[in-house]
Structure 1
Amino acid sequence: MRIKQNYKQMKKLINKKHFFLISIIILIIWRAFLNGAIPLMDKTEARYAEIARIMAETNDYITPQIDYGIPFWAKPPLSTWLSALSFDAFGVSEFTARLPYLLFSILLVFLIGKYATREKLPFFLPGFIVLTIPQFFIHAGVVSTDTLLAFSVALVMLSFWEAITNPENKIWKYAIFVGFGIGLLAKGPIVFILTLPPIFMWALISKSFKKIFSTIPIILGILMITAVAGPWYYLAEQKTPGFIDYFIVGEHFKRFFDSSWSGDKYGFPKQQPLGIIWIFLLLFAMPWIQVVIGKLWKNKKQLFSNKWILFLGAWLVWTPLFFTVSKSLIHPYILPVMIPIALLAVYFWKDIKQKAFIITVSLIVPVASMITYSIGLYDNNIENYANSDKYLIQHCEQNSSELYHFNTKSYSSQFYSSGKVKSIHLNELKTIIKEENRFYFIISKGDEEKMKSLLSENFQLIDGNRKKRLYLHP
């Protein structure tokens, strides 16, 4: 009985005029709150935040650095630039590190709204859908290169569609190439790989090549791409020779075809079963991907006759299809297809019968995040279970004592110590113990077990969590 009452209430709510707008505002406020409340996590997020912090501190906007004086060649600098500029403007914190990604997610919400009004649906419907897709909601608050890649792919694809279907508005045919330039600065040539093949597929099936070549200024567009992205690539190679070879050949070809690629300077092998990208898609885009798949199957006769469905379908299918043969991937690789999922759901919206149920299911992840955070506040669970050294670093007297991390220092320890933490090995540790200087020492629980006597005789335990301990000497 209770479930039926809730279901009826949800049906009434979604029919109210401003339901989707109010829902989006609540989702964005909650995501913004989490962006400031949750510590930066190791390894990936804390790494990119630390690279941005070093960039802001050193004022070196040409060469991202993974540590002072050590160039980071794995990714272009756009994400780092934005976080670094956010640090310069608002100070260094988790919230300011993540702020650019939240803003670009909001920009996407507004960019896709017009596709609902064309169907005489609420402007914020597609924004609500995309924000309730788990992958998109998560990456509205994650420091990474994936959000800006997804934005650049969306800009290219939607600008292409507008340029072809509304050629009188000439700005879109130029926005295509701005999107390519942004993509090259966000994550590299992958922006071409994720956009040109689905456009080609669409053009081939819809027989639109002639219209494309007569509408899109390809030569001028290439010059625009060069103007947007070329200067940084040139300056980066001049400043640190070898960048182009490592980034283009290594990161884009060797990483894709060899999951155990030994030349990876910064990451770690990502051994995944072939085809796992489809599992990621079904899990991290639910429930909307299931809705879309069901509607596409039911309306499969329209798939090749309706150019809009064909375009969105090609965009949606290509990315997971491309990564099907790769073993070196992670779930954020599906992020660029969240927009076509949302737009396809909007297109079929009037035919969806169980709207209230689907919307209720779509809110599970945001609501679960609220519950999880509340539980995390109880008995310091966040401090104990977060994959971050933030809470250990907070116990250190930053200006009066040295800070060491046993073996390889973590990126979160670098970020939260403002770059002061140093890696130290056993022989070095024994040497500085004899000097009787005051210093803090972070060690994993696994290494702690092997060094019990040394630690008990020379250190005072200050704090710890499920993974690490913080000691003070003397």
Structure 2
Amino acid sequence: MLTDKFKNNSYILYISVIILILFRLLLTATVPLLDKTEARYAEIARIMWETNQWVVLQIDYGVPFWAKPPLSTWMSAVSFAVFGINEFASRLPSFILNLLLIILTGRIAKKSGVSFYLPGFILLTMPEFLIHTGVVSTDTALGFCITLMMLSFWKTMNSAGKTFWNYIFFVALGLGLLAKGPLIIVLTFPPLFLWCCLDKNRFKDLFSKFSIVLGILISAIIAIPWYYFAEQQTPGFLDYFIVGEHYKRFVESGWKGDLYGNPKSVPLGMIWLFLIAFAFPWIQIVLFKLWKNRQTILKNKWVSFLVLWLFWTPIFFTISRNILHTYILPVTIPIMFLMVYWWPEYKNKKVAIRVSLIFPLIVFIAYIGLFATGKVDNYINSDKYLLENLKITTANKETPLYYWESKNYSGQFYSNGKAQILKTFNELDSVLSSNKKIFFVISTKRVVDIPKKYKDQLILTQSNYKTSIFVSKQKP
């Protein structure tokens, strides 16, 4: 009977994973690109596809974006070629990458005697992983590459001789350098080195089972050409990216050299609060089990491997004030594997399953509430609906679109790059005096800063909590 099936944890996991994947796919296709970060990366990919400039990323036409390598942008741009310019296409690569991780880790878990769907359930109920399963972000590609490196290292070290996993390790390293740069080395090599230090014989296995020279060559062939051509086409890139983004960003609070934003300074150790909050509830269970088994952790090579993988990232970012919750994404995998390891003996399975579904349920209720009530255009952090209501790319495609002082990246994306900036009242006066129809976009909270003489020439036509759009009055 169906009720008997739902008493079986494996069946619950199976149904839950399928529902969560379909729901996440629905979000990927229907939620507008959100400002600031997601819409920014989608717009960079859109410009790449439109201009056919595949080497130098551009944050605006002719303005290079040096902050990140191109892997995730390449994937979104290729997706645009297949599915057109839309939010689904921009997000699909990250959805696929995390889906591949779910399948890969499920196969590994099944070999250990637990349900194939357990890893997917644990991952998809962790807020950080669920969020990034279908978000335009460099972190998803980085997390995928880190996972592939760590698992291929484990597979190689536990094989009788050299295997194809040995080469996958270096392929993943090369791709990681294109996903987010040298950070992948910082987040993987130290825990691997420390794990080898727990048993000196592992260093012997390391040099006998890895084709190090050939592997380094493979990684270099994958990654170095892009770095070379990016520097050749935009001199200064390497200094900004290597020194600025990989050193100063993490050691200088409120780093002033950021060309693309103002990094927010957070308290020291904030990464741990992010870990507790965005890996709920599985990190709490894992920490309890680790404490309970603290005397035997280092004696178990799989558990010690996962523990070093898990804790190195938050330890590394502990002293950094310029961090985001997305930095914990790579450690969702070792949290999941530790939970899978203890699952057969874990007594509170049903409670864990129910509690873990809290966050997905909150997201589902919020989604239904926004879309069913028709208030999504009022409360969503995107200019999509405002611009669609104005038919900005159809009936009004010839009407200039001006943003006051700075653009919203969602506005740039959904207007197909037609958004321009007015930075001074002289510029605003100039476009208004031309007596041509224009759209004037400004932050809703900044409307009060516009002098009355300009407001008298404008008519409010669209607005939400974030953005207001005016149309200029036509003089007789």
Do they fold alike, i.e. is TM over 0.5?
Answer: yes
Question: How many angstroms apart in 1 are the aligned matches of 2:143 and 2:7?
Answer: 28
Question: How many angstroms apart in 1 are the aligned matches of 2:276 and 2:4?
Answer: 26
Question: How many angstroms apart in 2 are the aligned matches of 1:109 and 1:191?
Answer: 21
Larger deviation, residues 337-346 vs 371-380: 371-380
Provide the secondary structure at the position in 1 that maps to 2:469: strand
Amino acid at match of 2:28: N
Q: How far 1:150 moved relative to its partner? A: 0.4
Amino acid at match of 2:374: N
Question: How many angstroms apart in 2 are the aligned matches of 1:442 and 1:28?
Answer: 37
Which residue among 340, 360, 370 is the counterpart of 1:366? 360
Question: How many angstroms apart in 1 are the aligned matches of 2:66 and 2:218?
Answer: 24
Question: How many angstroms apart in 2 are the aligned matches of 1:228 and 1:113?
Answer: 28
Amino acid at match of 2:249: R
Distance 1:163 1:14, change over 3 A: farther
Distance 1:463 1:428, change over 3 A: same
The aligned runs of 1:405-424 (5 Å cut-off) are 405-424=403-422
Confirm or deny that 1:36 pairs with 2:3.
no
Question: How many angstroms apart in 1 are the aligned matches of 2:284 and 2:9?
Answer: 25
Structure 1 unaligned residues grouped into runs of 5+:
1-8
Distance 1:10 1:346, change over 3 A: farther
**Residues 378-403 of structure 1 deviation map (CA, whole Å, 9 limit, x = unaligned):** 54322111111112211334323111
2:10/2:117 contact within 8 Å kept: no
Structure 2 match to 1:287: 281
Amino acid at match of 2:448: E
Which residue among 9, 15, 19 is the counterpart of 2:12? 19
1:87/1:96 contact within 8 Å kept: yes
Distance 1:14 1:151, change over 3 A: farther
Provide the secondary structure at the position in 1 that maps to 2:364: helix
The percentage of aligned residue pairs carrying the same residue is: 50
Question: How many angstroms apart in 1 are the aligned matches of 2:382 and 2:9?
Answer: 42
2:25/2:134 contact within 8 Å kept: yes
The aligned runs of 1:172-321 (5 Å cut-off) are 172-207=165-200, 208-321=202-315
Question: How many angstroms apart in 1 are the aligned matches of 2:245 and 2:3?
Answer: 47
Provide the secondary structure at the position in 2 that maps to 1:135: helix
**Residues 179-232 of structure 1 deviation map (CA, whole Å, 9 limit, x = unaligned):** 101110000000000000000111001331111111111111110110111111
Structure 2 unaligned residues grouped into runs of 5+:
none
Which residue among 342, 347, 352 is the counterpart of 2:346? 352
RMSD over equivalenced CA pairs, Å: 1.5
Distance 1:432 1:251, change over 3 A: same
Structure 1 match to 2:120: 127
Structure 1 match to 2:81: 88
Q: How far 1:450 moved relative to its partner? A: 2.1
Question: How many angstroms apart in 2 are the aligned matches of 1:61 and 1:435?
Answer: 38
Question: How many angstroms apart in 1 are the aligned matches of 2:114 and 2:466?
Answer: 50
Confirm or deny that 1:171 pairs with 2:164.
yes
Q: How far 1:33 moved relative to its partner? A: 0.5
1:390/1:416 contact within 8 Å kept: yes
Which residue among 402, 405, 416 is the counterpart of 1:404? 402
Distance 1:74 1:122, change over 3 A: same
Amino acid at match of 2:241: F
Amino acid at match of 2:78: L
Question: How many angstroms apart in 2 are the aligned matches of 1:406 and 1:255?
Answer: 29
Question: How many angstroms apart in 1 are the aligned matches of 2:250 and 2:441?
Answer: 35
TM-score, normalised on structure 2? 0.95
Structure 1 match to 2:445: 446
Structure 1 match to 2:90: 97
Q: How far 1:301 moved relative to its partner? A: 2.3
Distance 1:193 1:427, change over 3 A: same
Amino acid at match of 2:470: Y
2:126/2:281 contact within 8 Å kept: yes
